[in-house]
Each structure stands twice: as C-alpha cells, then as structure tokens.
C-alpha cells in the first residue's frame, strides 16, 4: 500500500512546472551546503540546512544580461542545482520528498558579498545581498525523468573562458530529500517554487564586461553577458 501511494504521488506531478519561472511564488536557497566550502571557510559543518529566501523578480533567462546594481561593489557567482516543486508540500518525510519534485534546472545564485558580509556581521537578513534584480539566472525546466540521479551531476562555471567552479552534487551536505523535508516543516512549498541547493567551492567576484558560462552534466548550459546598471 505504501508503495502504491508513492506511485500515485509520482503520477500527480504538476504538468505545468515547465513554466516555473512565471508561475512560482518563491525561491528557497540553502547556504554552506558543500563540504569543500565549509573546509575552505574553516567554519563548522551545519547541523541543519541554512535557509534563505529570494524574490521571483530576481529570475533571469538566457539572452538577457546580468545587471550589477550600482549600490554593490562586489558581486559573486554561485553555480547550483535547482529543484522545481511539483505539488503542494507540507510536513513531508524524507522518504516521500522526491515524489514532490517536478524537475530541475541549472541556476546561478548571484550574491552581493559586499552587502552579505556586513549583514552577517550585524545579524541582519540577507535579503538585499541575495534578492536583487537578475540575481537568479536559470535554465529551462528539466523534467524529473530526465535526471537519473540528482546527486551525481557535475557542475562547472567559467568566467571569460577560465574555469572558476567545478564540483558535483554528490558532495551536497544536505541532499534534495533532506532539504525538502526540512523546509516543509516551516513553510508550505507550492507548485513551481524553486529550491537552490547550494554551490561548490570557488565562488568569487565578477565585473561588468565579463562573460559567465556554466553547465550541469549534459543537461543544461548557460551563457550570460554582464553589464553595469
């Protein structure tokens, strides 16, 4: 009976998830979710996901430029696996969490380090440093059944042709089911919401005039020009 229930849930995935960029209500991010980042920063390994929110107005599609706000002096790239929620999700178990996934995307979580550092030091929210316009470039939707294992996906990013980030989702501290189950204890995840699962080591600042390219296995590749505001 339990197995039948899971099969039925899988069959009910939101068929409109390909339009997550326009239909989603929130973007949920997870910080410090790769062991190499924790080691590089010499900080304690998180015991639970470190969660933040971004507005959907921060979405950006390929073909449009990343625009750096005048108020920021240092903005960094972060390449990530994005997880698109397929149906309403509240208080779900880790065992059932994947049945709520509609699919995936390749994403960038651009971060104003100049703002975020000050916010952390003062104990303030990360909203401004994470949620500015064009701070969440994303690929097209990748259906669930096209990804055999979301925890075995190579990620890479280059700036002006130079490799800056290279990692694998197998190194996530908190896996996709862990994140979904944890977040759903506190807030309802709705169809077309996006979860950003974290970035491997190598995040650094970029500037106007740069060209950022990134990819995820053979599933997605993105290219963005960067300009100033």
State the pTM of this model: 0.91
Q: Are strands 220-228 and 66-68 parallel, antiparallel or unpaired?
A: parallel
Whether 170 and 152 have beta carbons less than 8 Å apart is answered as yes
Identify which of 217, 174, 214 has the alpha carbon closest to the alpha carbon of residue 197: 174
> pLDDT tens for residues 67-100?
999 999 999 999 999 999 999 999 999 999 999 9
Structural domains in the chain, CATH included, are 2-228 (3.90.850.10)
> pLDDT tens for residues 9-43?
444 555 567 789 999 999 999 999 999 999 999 99
Sheet of 154-159, strand order:
66-68, 220-228, 211-216, 154-159, 162-168
Distance CA 209, CA 217 (A): 27
């Amino acid at each position: 009976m339990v197995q039948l229930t899971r099969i039925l849930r899988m069959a009910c995935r939101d068929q409109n998830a390909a339009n997550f960029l326009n239909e989603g209500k929130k973007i949920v991010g997870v910080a410090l979710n790769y062991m190499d980042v924790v080691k590089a920063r010499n900080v304690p390994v998180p015991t639970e996901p470190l969660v933040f929110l971004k507005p959907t107005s921060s979405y950006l599609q390929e073909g449009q430029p990343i625009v750096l706000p005048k108020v920021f002096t240092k903005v960094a790239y972060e390449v990530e696996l994005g997880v698109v929620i397929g149906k309403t999700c509240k208080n779900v178990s880790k065992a059932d969490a994947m049945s709520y996934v509609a699919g995936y995307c390749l994403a960038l979580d651009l971060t104003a380090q100049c703002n975020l550092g000050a916010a952390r030091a003062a104990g303030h929210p990360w909203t401004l440093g994470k949620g500015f316009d064009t701070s969440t470039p994303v690929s097209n939707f990748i259906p669930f059944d096209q990804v055999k294992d979301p925890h075995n996906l190579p990620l890479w990013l280059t700036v002006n042709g130079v490799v800056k980030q290279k990692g694998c989702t197998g190194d996530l501290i908190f896996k996709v089911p862990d994140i979904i189950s944890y977040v759903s204890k506190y807030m309802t995840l709705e169809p077309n919401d996006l979860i950003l699962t974290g970035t491997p080591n190598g995040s650094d600042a970029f500037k106007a005039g740069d060209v950022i390219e990134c990819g995820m296995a053979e599933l997605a590749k993105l290219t963005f020009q960067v300009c100033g505001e």
